[in-house]
Amino acid sequence: MPPPRKIKKEDIINVALEILKKEDIESLNARRIAKELNSSVQPIYHNFENMEDLKEVVFKEIYKIYQDYMVKASLKEKAYKEMGLAYIKFARDYPNYFKLIFMSKTDFTPESLISNDDTGNDVINTGMKLTGFSYEEQRKFHVKVWMFTHGIASLVATNTVKLTEREIDDLLRDTVGAMIEGMKK
């Protein structure tokens, strides 16, 4: 009889990520993961204290994917616009991940959601280079830009509307440009 297959923590995380690509967080449970791994639930509870522990680790992995989109965009020439486009691209590429991060119930205000971590602060600092606003002015301005960008991303993530990359690019360029002009007057 062959020895039982050793299931690693990474295997469990990867299966959970695959499930969440297609389904919502409620579908993520030990039995479902075990079924996908072709094992019992024992390896899950051997590697994680409980399902909440696993979900927290998986959420962090999803957030790393999002941050990677933002970092890559921040290195481009028109970084502020590219970061907005990357936010929307993340919503298109990973709609369930986007919904989990940005369309779940929280107690955050728009300002605290944006400046919750270094990614948000990087966007604000990048925007300051474009607009010439102070940090505080840019933070307030970015809340408005984020709400607009989030609206597009939400529409894309939920397949409510079909927009081409060109249409999205034009919307961001034109609207954010008008918003900058309005703020400077």
- Confidence (pLDDT) at 118: 72
pTM above 0.85, yes or no: yes
Long-range contacts of 72-77 (CB under 8 A, 24+ apart): 74/122, 74/123, 74/126
In the predicted structure, residue 59 carries a pLDDT above the cut 80:
yes
Q: How far is 171 from 4, CA to CA, in rounded Å?
A: 55
| Rounded mean pLDDT, 179-183 | 91
Domains in the chain and their CATH numbers?
A: 9-48 (1.10.10), 63-184 (1.10.357)
In the predicted structure, residue 104 carries a pLDDT above the cut 90:
no
Radius of gyration of the chain (CA): 20
In the predicted structure, residue 31 carries a pLDDT above the cut 90:
yes
In the predicted structure, residue 1 carries a pLDDT above the cut 60:
no
Residues in the chain: 185
Share of the chain residues as helix, strand and coil, in percent rounded to the nearest 5: 75, 0, 25
Mean of pLDDT over the chain: 91
pLDDT in tens, 106-135: 666 666 666 666 777 888 888 999 899 999
Cβ–Cβ under 8 Å, residues 152 and 163: yes
